[in-house]
Structure 1
Amino acid sequence: MNWFSTDVDDVLNEQNVDRKRGLSDDQVRTRLEKYGENKLIGKPKKSLFALFFSQLNDMLIYVLLGAAVITLLIGEYTDAIIILLVVLLNAIIGVFQEYKAEKAIEALQKMTTPHALVRRDGEVIEVDSKTIVPGDIIILDAGRYIPADLRLIESINLQIEESALTGESVPSEKNATALFNDPKTPLGDLANMAFMSTLVTYGRAEGVVVGTGMNTEIGKIAKGLDETKSEMTPLQKRLAELGKILGYLAIGICVVIFIVALIQKRDLFEMFLTSISLAVAAIPEGLPAIVAIVLALGVTRMSRIHAIVKRLPAVETLGSVNIICSDKTGTLTQNKMTVLHLYTHGQKLDVPSEGTATAEEHTAQLLIQTMVLCTDATLVDGEGTGDPTEIALLELGEKFHSPKRELESGHERVAEKPFDSDRKLMSTLNKERDHYRVHTKGAIDNLLEIATHALINGERVLLTEQLKTDYLRAAEKMSDQALRVLGAAYKDTDSVIDPDEMEKELTVLGLVGMIDPPRLEVKGAIRQAKQAGITPVMITGDHQHTAAAIAMELGMATSLKQTLSGSEIDAMSEAEFNKNIGNYRVFSRVSPEHKVKIVKAFQSHGNIVSMTGDGVNDAPSLKNADIGVAMGITGTDVSKGASDMILTDDNFTTIVAAIEEGRNIYNNIKKAVVFLLSCNLGEIVAILASVLFYWPVPLLPTQILWINLITDTFPAIALGVDPGDKDVMKRRPRNPKESFFAGGAAIRAIVGGLLIGILTLVAFYFGLNEHGYQLWSESIPKQVLTYAETMAFVVLAVSQLFFSLSMRSASHSIFKVGLFSNKYLIGAIILGVVLQFAVISIPFLASAFHVQMLTLRDWVIVILFALIPLVVNEFIKSGMRMRTK
């Protein structure tokens, strides 16, 4: 039903509600059961069971499950249990992280649940907006959010800021008596309707609820958003590809082993065990869990800097961002209008940013008094309600010892002429001691047209053309500084006069210049972003000159030539716009459609784009951006739902800090991945060489699993939380197509892996040779083999632990990085050595892993062998540094 084309009485009859009494408790209860709670419903949540099984959908997991089945079939139950525990542990960690992220978002939504004034059973009460039902009579006043879609039944000077829905930053004027018969009337023109999640900035009204929850205009947009599918991030894609490659590699190695076994006529049962060893060696079992843990720890760190990341892998995408498209209001600026200057003819007075001041000049005192009395906003204990411009005027009064509550006690308002967009003026009539005074504020050019006099140095003089020019020139100077200018005038009268007579024969007092000032910390953040190869771009609904002035002050733009308006975007073809997009830094007076167009134009050049937004209308651009960033304070539920990240402080600086964190997290994940693959390559080299050369296999599947799960995991996690690189924001963003192995990482991984594998075989050979046997000897006694395997097992584990120190930096030495600067890594290495000592010393563990106790001499030899990969890698880095110099 088109409520906007229906008369008020018919709407009330249709909703079966008495306007003066509202709904009864029974009616509310019945309708709540029928229509449900008044809230937006997202996609149905996955159950814990479904979350658990989604974690198993991975190539690495498939290979591990296959290995578990084979070990069960051949009776190696200990190995099968260990493999299944690995799979279970990975799945539990994944479920826990997804569940925790969901809970964080739910908590944020609870914090932003609004309340509403509603008339029920003849009384006006405040209720949780979730309990509102169709037919409820809602009371609206300045500063309240609209809790549902309403057909207005009464409106007095009502203005509603509908940017959350329409994108228009100027409040819309409302009129309950208007009717619209055209069913295609745009939402922004429906003056007799009020929509969910929009904000009353001025006036008061009553309305009857005609739509709740998903049946609101915002609900329709929310439904559309839930139908869109999310793309995998580069990290997800890369890890999935890596998993497939390693899975196929494991299968391929098993096939090779069987072919070699047939050629060498080896025992097939023994080859089953060896193939399982190699499959296990090829797969870094702890990788999914380690990446999840590193991302989760990164997300926790980000939450401390006011950034809540909804999807863990999105953290990595942040590291690739090279374009930040940001709103102006509230993100780059303080979202708080502030008066900077007062002007009375020939005199300019600067307003202090903090503290109080005194207006010595009489005209300035009257100017402040008029500005304060001619407002409908309120300011109590620093908290304001109403129009932001009027709140700024009340704060001006507080600074000059003229608070509104004190002025009103001696200047009672007896009549008013409300603001309207045609006159661009507002007037009040206030009672003085022995007369009445009209106070008028508004657009200075409109004031000058109707005024006849000016107050100069306390004297009332005729308003000449020269004086008008002086006032307009002062206003123009303020406008050039991106200030919003308001003029003030007054008139004394002996009695109460008709509102139509108020704005005649006025005396001009002067004007004020105000601005939504830039956040103090943003300038430094923009400088840091540019140094990091990131281009900050402003996208705003504000006027071109205002936006350009703020952008130039912050260092985002250098001239007006770098700005483009929405109408200019419309005048350009898509190809022309895409081609020239790099020339612009400020986009003004833009619509939601323009935002999507801007994002796609930047992306067409291969850029990774971050986009901020707070309104429902921002949802499409947030979805299209590589990283959608919603505002936590001013943002709507729909914008938060469409985003990848939520700023709890609505601050641009937080985006730059999050990008720095994202870069460091990616670098740390890369360190952990390359480290794990180096270790696994060492295991493959040791086992494959043994098979090819017909030597005894130096490692058992359980031993490899122990190393991969216990010994490797702790250093990998410690690398994942390595202290951030101080120079990370002095480099350009990483190319998202860049491989994990770029920048020499592949060479380091191969050299490290080969050394670890060769030294494991050397240790195995040393263990056999100690008892007079060689690698090719036949009928080696079991205790000799156990000793040799123990030497190989311990060298493999400890060499990997020491090698992790070298992985902290691709170019700097461990001493330059700081040997003890990552205390977690030192702790992980010590813990790894202790656990390795425990596993060969505690009898039941030694029995399970087929190892034995080593002597002190053996441990000295093991340590010396284990240090070689670290030392060689440090020499390689030294050579690279010398070449660079």
Structure 2
Amino acid sequence: MSGQNLKEPLVDKGSRPANFKVSAKDLTDFFNLDHIRDGTSLKNIHDKYEGVHGLLSALKTDSEKGITSATVQIRNIDFGSNKPIVREATTFWEFVWECFEDLTLRILIIAAIVSLVVGTLEDPEEGWLEGVAILIAILIVVLVTSINNYIKELKFRKLSEESQERNVTVIRDGKEKLISVFELCVGDIAKIGIGDVMPVDALVLWSQSLLADESSMTGESDHVKKSVDKAPFLLSGSQIADGAALAVVLAVGSNSYLGKNLESIMGEEEDETPLQKKLNYIAEFIGKIGLAMALLTFLVLLGYQVYSIVNDGWKNENLDGIVKSFIVAVTIVVVAVPEGLPLAVTLSLAFSVNEMKKQNNLVRHLDASETMGQATNICTDKTGTLTQNVMKVVAMCIGKDALYENTNKNDIEQEVIDYLGYHFCHNTAASYGMADGKEVFTGSRTEIALLKVAKEWGFDYEKLRSKDKIKLQIPFNSTLKRMYTVAEEDGKLYVFIKGASEVIVDMCSKHISKGGHTHDLDHNEKETIKREVISNYANRAYRTLGIAYKIVRKGDISKFFKEDGTPNIEVLERKMILLGVFGIQDPVRTGVPDAVRTCQNAGITVRMVTGDNPETAVAIARNCGIIDKNYKHTADDDTVMTGQEFRSRVGEDLVVSKENPKDKVVQNLQAFKQIITKLRVLARSSPQDKLILVTGLKQLNEVVAVTGDGSNDAPALKKSNVGFSMHIAGTQLAQEASDIILLDDNFASIVTAVLWGRNIYDCISKFIQFQLTVNIVALAMSFVGAVFLKVAPITAIQMLWVNLIMDTFAALALATEPPNISLLDRKPVKHDDSLLTADMFKTIIGQSIYQLVWLLFILFAIEKFESGFFYDLYNFDKTCTEDVSTDPSGATSSTKVCVPAPPEYKFTLFFQTFVMMQVFNEINCRKLKSSELNVFSGFFNNSLFILILIFTIVVQVCIIQFGGAFFQCSPLPWQQHVFCLCVGVGALIFGVIFRLVPVSLFSCLNVKAEEKVQAGGFTEMVRKKTTRRNPVHTKS
């Protein structure tokens, strides 16, 4: 795969590139933090290259035209490429070696070698078979496990790289181009804006109110002001908090500041997911029981050997017996310790993450997919998530009362049209151009809607929007809720402001008519505009946008800045003239109302958090089904609140927790509790309101999912249990803070995440049902056989095969079950719910009883029948002879004498029956609820499950028929195979009947798995767990 291998040389330190008058090492040194802080980096640029222009010349780039595409390859060779930095891939043979680090496997290998030596000495012809068979079985287990881990590693690496993919705008060949972040190279001129996370180290060439958040890189919490002359260095990994800039790329990939930091942490292992931690408790408990049973079995078998030695003296076969007893005991531990549990989680996550991507959920953090199964609240944005984010201006009001239901400009004075056109083209961060012969718009959908109107009216965006014309620009942010631009046009200096319509209307002292005349705008007229225009548009679910302007003298530009160089907002907003209010339609996405209804039926509360006014928010919420169609808002109703009303009751900001000084909590939690039972829509809200909402919900032990697309949503996204960012409209910072990226920006895709999250939990529960049943039966029969028959009924080699069935194969089969839509008909699983439910206990106990009865019957009773069905079945292949005798009178008679079946015949029948019951119990374990009587429902939806069942049965029959001494089996006639198959099928029939037993009888059994297993616990000591080597980052 593409990506920088950490073992490859990153910088050519010994030579200076031939085509450039600067080396990669020189550029990397500029971004040494100490050199930046003490001014050395800036001084070196001036001393060595005579300033920024000299450095650009050395890099053979241009601030206006950028680099040429022809030089990209040589730049990647000389300065390194910006391919994703990934940990060196774990090879297949490393996974193999990792398996052999398992302590019990090592002990088993040594024991097998001893068995091989002792057996060969006792019986040179066949004595070596058992030892070799065990070694081959170990090799097969190791290879299957390694192949599975290797395939999983490749899948996760691919997903990780895809999650880092994004586009950036650069100037190349004199034109703006949209390229992959991985294609950035040294010398590129990049456009930077609010919300961007710097993917490279860069030097600022031009900036406007630029602030960078370097806290994640340097630990400094305050935003750092960046400028061309004093602080031009932008560190990779830092986040643009405000402003815009053009910057030249100086260091990429592993040569960048972020790249060097990534190198130092790439070797760290990842934390386990919450579900894996829970399962460790169960694995620990089962492992201890397995060890106790193994020890008891070994002591019993050893006791028989000691008894033999005491009575008959030492014989060579005693050593062989002791070795075999030890091998059986170790094998019991191998089978008992359920290392398949964490494997099942990993497989289920890997399968789910891959399938979720196909359904527009790109999972960045593994634990998010399982956490979504427990979600109780979803706090969602409106624009682009609930709506289509296809903005179109459908109504406008010029001045205070010239209403239009379209964008027809026929009866509007040209002067007014010019003002609007200048405004739309200058006061925007959106842009358009041609790509592959097609017109492409980039930027905010709202701004694109206005830009399309300007284009419709005949304005040339590229001609109007020149960098030289822009004298001041303050990008839109959630605090101000408006955007400012001071631009020169037609020899005049214009101040343009757009934003929340009520805010814009209130700041204006005049308005312009459609005829081009300005008039005073008093308070009553402002209220009329709000009531008759803004509210009217909002009730029709239109987003409203206010547009204002003024013309000032060129000499007044200095008044717009404070002494410290920051914009003077108060002066900018004085004496504004209202150009108009625009109604922008953004229809609700198809499928969103159904998705909201599905979430509500699944016990998940959906809340909408939007910056729109209450009327617009209510109209959209009604259309989506978040609130009732007939809902009417009243002043004392908490169903719909504004951000200001919300904060006035719960507290203006979060406060430091008394219990944990590192945490922040809601100031008035009691008021929050009262509000939250009804609150469904939070209008005119800010990202801070969203953060308070999420924090309060988490304080009430709710599991919260949040959607966000803006940079200011990052704190709420990080605070949530699962953060969803937008792929299309989301900023890079929002995506970095999220756990899952919605590739289609669609709320309906969140339902997919809930469905797969719940399915993960169910798949693991199914596997636990299966594995605990196998463990109980295998351990019980091993001990019983050792005590009463002086031998384990299942040999070591057979146990290793069973271990492969119940761990790897069962994990693959049950952990990859596709979800059923009925999962959304139940309430979410809570944090403190039992991992093992009463239904599961019922299934485990019932199946264990069924299997133990049959196995005990085969082991102790079947051979005692002297006639009838079971006698004929067991002795079907018996060898008989005619014994002829003559009495004294000379008469002859014959008697049929039959040789009874040998002991291994019984153990083979036992082994075959045991495996068949596990195969069919696997089908039974597909259902978790007693009410689910049809275990074959959805059976054919999982082809992998069917293939594994068929494969297991075929291999098992081959082992019986052809395994011979290798597997210590005797071939069975087809009639006995049919019998074993029938007993296996009987497990299904018994399972259905047992489901009718009242589950209340088992409700007293309750196992919670919240206890944390201490590092270095039993399971970790005895069985080395496979390291999760996927490169998907865990949320901090």
1:142/1:385 contact within 8 Å kept? no
- Pick from 390, 393, 397 the counterpart of residue 450 of structure 2: 393
Alignment-derived partner of residue 74 in structure 1 = 115
What SS is found at the alignment partner of 2:374?
coil
What SS is found at the alignment partner of 1:341?
strand
**Larger RCO, structures 1/2 (Cα 8 Å, 6+ apart):** 2
Letter in 1 for 2:441: G
Q: Whole-Å Cα distance in 1 between the matches of residues 467 and 206 of structure 2?
A: 23
Q: Does 1:13 align with 2:46?
A: yes
- Deviation track 1:644-688 (CA, whole Å, cap 9, x = no partner) reads 444333444333311211111220221122112212322223222
Instruction: Quote how far apart the aligned CAs of 1:419 are.
Output: 6.4
Q: Does 1:731 align with 2:788?
A: no
Alignment-derived partner of residue 689 in structure 1 = 784
**TM-score of the two chains, using structure 2 as the length reference:** 0.65
1:711/1:832 contact within 8 Å kept? no
Letter in 1 for 2:911: F
Q: Whole-Å Cα distance in 2 between the matches of residues 248 and 415 of structure 1?
A: 76
- Deviation track 1:399-424 (CA, whole Å, cap 9, x = no partner) reads xx535349989x99998987679995
Alignment-derived partner of residue 402 in structure 1 = 457
Alignment-derived partner of residue 907 in structure 2 = 789
Alignment-derived partner of residue 529 in structure 1 = 599
Deviates more, 1:122-131 or 1:297-306: 122-131
Alignment-derived partner of residue 178 in structure 1 = none
- Deviation track 1:478-533 (CA, whole Å, cap 9, x = no partner) reads 57868342246899xxxx997989x9999976431347766554444333323322
- Pick from 909, 922, 926 the counterpart of residue 808 of structure 1: 926
Instruction: Quote how far apart the aligned CAs of 1:303 are.
Output: 1.4
- Pick from 549, 565, 570 the counterpart of residue 653 of structure 2: 570
Q: Does 1:236 align with 2:325?
A: no
Instruction: Quote how far apart the aligned CAs of 1:849 are.
Output: 1.7
Alignment-derived partner of residue 854 in structure 1 = 972
Letter in 1 for 2:283: G
- Pick from 171, 186, 190 the counterpart of residue 117 of structure 1: 171
- Pick from 153, 157, 160 the counterpart of residue 105 of structure 1: 160
Alignment-derived partner of residue 981 in structure 2 = 863
Alignment-derived partner of residue 180 in structure 1 = none
- Pick from 563, 567, 582 the counterpart of residue 512 of structure 1: 582
What SS is found at the alignment partner of 1:69?
helix
1:3/1:151 contact within 8 Å kept? no
Letter in 2 for 1:251: L
Q: Whole-Å Cα distance in 1 between the matches of residues 483 and 724 of structure 2?
A: 39
What SS is found at the alignment partner of 1:865?
helix
Q: Whole-Å Cα distance in 1 between the matches of residues 980 and 43 of structure 2?
A: 90
Q: Whole-Å Cα distance in 2 between the matches of residues 509 and 252 of structure 1?
A: 83
What SS is found at the alignment partner of 2:583?
strand
Q: Whole-Å Cα distance in 2 between the matches of residues 113 and 126 of structure 1?
A: 6
Alignment-derived partner of residue 176 in structure 1 = none
Instruction: Quote how far apart the aligned CAs of 1:236 are.
Output: 1.3
Q: Whole-Å Cα distance in 2 between the matches of residues 638 and 412 of structure 1?
A: 28
Q: Does 1:670 align with 2:723?
A: no
**TM-score of the two chains, using structure 1 as the length reference:** 0.75
What SS is found at the alignment partner of 1:818?
coil
- Deviation track 1:93-145 (CA, whole Å, cap 9, x = no partner) reads 23432343123212443x426463379xx9999998779899x6947589997
Alignment-derived partner of residue 362 in structure 2 = 308
The 3 A distance-change label for structure 1 pair 99 and 615 is farther
Q: Does 1:254 align with 2:287?
A: no
Identity %: 23
Alignment-derived partner of residue 23 in structure 1 = 56
1:532/1:730 contact within 8 Å kept? yes
Instruction: Quote how far apart the aligned CAs of 1:319 are.
Output: 1.7
2:294/2:333 contact within 8 Å kept? yes
Q: Whole-Å Cα distance in 2 between the matches of residues 9 and 691 of structure 1?
A: 80
Deviates more, 1:374-383 or 1:596-605: 596-605
1:147/1:197 contact within 8 Å kept? yes
Q: Whole-Å Cα distance in 2 between the matches of residues 22 and 142 of structure 1?
A: 23
Q: Whole-Å Cα distance in 1 between the matches of residues 701 and 521 of structure 2?
A: 59
1:338/1:517 contact within 8 Å kept? no
Instruction: Quote how far apart the aligned CAs of 1:539 are.
Output: 6.4
Q: Whole-Å Cα distance in 2 between the matches of residues 634 and 816 of structure 1?
A: 44
- Deviation track 1:507-562 (CA, whole Å, cap 9, x = no partner) reads 9764313477665544443333233223445667x588699658845528821078
The 3 A distance-change label for structure 1 pair 642 and 231 is farther
Q: Whole-Å Cα distance in 2 between the matches of residues 587 and 53 of structure 1?
A: 57
The 3 A distance-change label for structure 1 pair 573 and 623 is closer
Q: Whole-Å Cα distance in 2 between the matches of residues 846 and 536 of structure 1?
A: 63
Q: Whole-Å Cα distance in 2 between the matches of residues 218 and 589 of structure 1?
A: 34
What SS is found at the alignment partner of 1:404?
coil
Please give the residue correspondences for 1:266-281 in structure 2 after superposition, counting only pairs within 5 Å. 268-269=321-322, 271-276=325-330, 278-281=332-335
Letter in 2 for 1:232: E
Alignment-derived partner of residue 849 in structure 2 = 754
What SS is found at the alignment partner of 2:784?
helix
Alignment-derived partner of residue 420 in structure 2 = 371
Instruction: Quote how far apart the aligned CAs of 1:835 are.
Output: 2.8
The 3 A distance-change label for structure 1 pair 783 and 627 is farther
Q: Whole-Å Cα distance in 2 between the matches of residues 636 and 56 of structure 1?
A: 42
Alignment-derived partner of residue 396 in structure 2 = 342
Letter in 2 for 1:818: S
Q: Whole-Å Cα distance in 2 between the matches of residues 144 and 872 of structure 1?
A: 60
Instruction: Quote how far apart the aligned CAs of 1:756 are.
Output: 1.4
Deviates more, 1:542-551 or 1:571-580: 542-551
Letter in 2 for 1:698: P
Please give the residue correspondences for 1:595-610 in structure 2 after superposition, counting only pairs within 5 Å. 601-610=696-705
The 3 A distance-change label for structure 1 pair 677 and 105 is same
Instruction: Quote how far apart the aligned CAs of 1:301 are.
Output: 0.9
1:93/1:292 contact within 8 Å kept? no
The 3 A distance-change label for structure 1 pair 543 and 62 is farther
Letter in 2 for 1:235: L
The 3 A distance-change label for structure 1 pair 73 and 473 is same
Structure 1 unaligned spans of 5+: 168-182, 352-357, 775-779
Instruction: Quote how far apart the aligned CAs of 1:792 are.
Output: 1.3
Letter in 2 for 1:294: S
Alignment-derived partner of residue 558 in structure 1 = 639
What SS is found at the alignment partner of 2:49?
coil
The 3 A distance-change label for structure 1 pair 386 and 795 is closer
Letter in 1 for 2:758: R
Q: Does 1:89 align with 2:119?
A: no
**Could you say what the CA RMSD is over the residues aligned between the two structures, in angstroms?**
5.7
Alignment-derived partner of residue 1025 in structure 2 = none
The 3 A distance-change label for structure 1 pair 66 and 288 is farther
Q: Whole-Å Cα distance in 2 between the matches of residues 551 and 822 of structure 1?
A: 38
Q: Whole-Å Cα distance in 2 between the matches of residues 79 and 348 of structure 1?
A: 87
Instruction: Quote how far apart the aligned CAs of 1:320 are.
Output: 2.1
2:163/2:362 contact within 8 Å kept? no
Q: Whole-Å Cα distance in 1 between the matches of residues 920 and 483 of structure 2?
A: 78
What SS is found at the alignment partner of 2:412?
helix
Q: Whole-Å Cα distance in 1 between the matches of residues 716 and 93 of structure 2?
A: 30
Instruction: Quote how far apart the aligned CAs of 1:620 are.
Output: 7.0
Q: Whole-Å Cα distance in 2 between the matches of residues 693 and 137 of structure 1?
A: 80
Alignment-derived partner of residue 1005 in structure 2 = none
- Deviation track 1:347-388 (CA, whole Å, cap 9, x = no partner) reads 64445xxxxxx7386239986665334313543445224665
What SS is found at the alignment partner of 1:727?
helix
Letter in 2 for 1:570: D
Instruction: Quote how far apart the aligned CAs of 1:82 are.
Output: 0.9
Alignment-derived partner of residue 705 in structure 1 = 800
1:426/1:442 contact within 8 Å kept? no
Structure 2 unaligned spans of 5+: 1-33, 62-70, 117-130, 309-317, 476-481, 558-572, 628-637, 659-664, 872-897, 1003-1036
- Pick from 396, 411, 414 the counterpart of residue 362 of structure 1: 411
1:525/1:656 contact within 8 Å kept? yes
Q: Whole-Å Cα distance in 2 between the matches of residues 454 and 559 of structure 1?
A: 34
